[in-house]
Amino acid sequence: MQNISKELSINQSVIQNQLQNCDDILLRPMKLGRFLTVDCFLIYIETAVSNIMLEDSVIGKMLNHLKEADDAEIYEEISKNSLGVSDTKELASIEEAMAAMLAGNAVLFIDGYDKAIKIGSKGYPGAGVLRAESEKVLRGSKEAFSESVKVNSALIRKRVRDTRLKVCEKMIGRYSGTMTALLYMENLVYPPVLEEIKQRMKSFETDDLADGGVLEHLTADTWYSPFPQYQATERPDRAAMAVLAGQVVILTDNSPEALILPTTCNSLFQTSDDYYRHFAIVSFLRLIRYLSAFLAISLPGLYLAATNFHTQILPGNLIFSLAEARAGVPFPSIIEVLFLELSFELLREAGLRMPGPIGNTIGIVGGLIVGQAAVSANLVSPIVVVIVALTALGSFSIPNEELSESFRLLKYGMIVLCACFGVLGLLFGWFLLIVHLAGLKSFGISYLAPYGGETVESGVGLKDSIVRWPSRSLTKRPIFARKENRRKMSVNPGEEDGRKMDGNAGEGNSQKMGGNAGGEDFQKMDGNAGEENCRNKSGNPEGEDFQKMDGNAGDRNYRNKNGNAGKEDCDVSRKR
């Protein structure tokens, strides 16, 4: 590293040598001081820092003030930041100054001062906060991530207003200098998982990090698996939920998506809307999604197995109907299925690549025309068109696009197995698939959790799996969070003492709230675990026995032992 010199001419010569043929980067010489005797220059990218001398800009206010200061005051005000300018930083080397400038800031060099001053600016132009497109919003926030990592971290901070939400920034890419941010809740995330993530982000060096998808593939546990080991989302509310569940979120500059890790197969079948809607509707929709996944991977193979090997399982009328429909088709069933499946894949890819309304038209009209034309030409039978259409609908119903693509790929392996071995091939294919998923881990978390794996716990995660229980029952965080801090909610705080609402194991102030029909409010006031001050508010000054009747029979019996009207000593006969 080359340190910044006190002689301005040396710094200017070095920087001008590096900025040759960089016409978009401006080096603007100026003079400061009341008598304009102090030389300086400012370097910045033209589109990232504009109108620097305007009165209402931070840089403009700072430079205008320094122009009116005495020469001796300039260095003191700069070194002590007595101007109170936000986002300023002293830089000791030329490399640091160039990196700050390339990040979209302005950098000020002053003659006689051996530090450069980074002055924060608006940065590179961006699209701003967008609307979610790939993840359709039925209910909830319509905001989506932008392409600026600073804006994206602010969108999550907007939803998690707690200083225990940590944001660690890191530059990746020798040439691209892409800013990445690691977001996590300090009191919820597992330290070994967090350390493993940081180590993997340091385990490679690359010239360019164009998108978060590159980071995902470079840090994945099992690189050869087609299943996503990260969950990508473009919705800030989904990322905020993940942070509060103990997961880690990675943001990448120039990418309008966040990566959530660790993840499980069950998490990929869930959406943000699931937690905003009625549990019965959500449970029904999740069952539909799991059924869709089965259809997306198994239906074409099951059709081949039934028609080629196991016709006895089909009704007689259906067998005659299938035989009549295939009467004029000259190809074997597997060729017929593969031809139509690949045709639909071609139409889907064409629809994605064509712009806007034209792409939707190609997908719908093209599918109808190709399917009808293929049936009319006796290239395929009508039943195969139905099978392939249902398979496509099944893949579209999976909420995570990367998981859907995995099923679309494995579908062809199932087709080959079923065409060769029938139902036995289908069972063998599912056996291999489940074995692979059972051995797959995402940063130490079993991919099949909460259905399997050593991390499963007595039904805690099963309440939010295929069937979602009512929100009143989802009082604990999933397995991603620390075990001692998993409780996130208490619906009836009067039922238990010392229940922690925010996941802090070390905080000892607990309060027993509402829900007591007899009007006996008991509050632990001093945070001492061994003391309970109980107040009899029933208006009975005598030493009567009284019982808390709050709907929990036998929950707690409190007996006034000495009958003194002015002194309520309560004996807790039963504790949880």
pLDDT per residue of the chain (576 residues) written in tens, 0 to 9: 788 998 999 999 999 999 888 888 888 888 888 778 888 898 988 877 755 544 456 667 677 777 777 766 777 777 665 455 556 788 889 988 998 888 888 888 988 888 898 887 666 766 666 677 777 777 878 888 988 888 899 999 999 998 899 999 898 988 888 889 999 999 999 999 999 999 998 888 888 888 888 888 888 888 889 999 999 999 999 999 999 999 999 999 988 999 999 999 999 999 888 888 899 999 999 999 999 999 999 999 999 999 889 888 888 888 888 888 888 788 888 998 999 899 888 888 887 777 766 766 676 677 777 778 888 888 888 889 899 989 999 998 999 989 999 999 999 999 999 999 999 999 999 999 999 999 898 888 889 888 876 555 555 678 888 988 888 888 888 888 888 888 888 776 554 444 444 444 444 443 433 344 443 443 433 444 443 443 444 444 444 443 333 434 333 333 443 444 444 343 433 333
Asked if residues 485 and 188 have their Cβ atoms less than 8 Å apart, the reply is yes
Question: Closest by alpha carbon to 76, among 135, 33, 36?
Answer: 33
> How large is the angle between the packed helices 316-325 and 382-396, nearest 10 degrees?
100
Model confidence, pTM: 0.74
For the CA atoms of 33, 36, 37, 43, the dihedral, rounded to the nearest 10 degrees, stands at 80
CA dist 197 and 95 (Å) reads 28
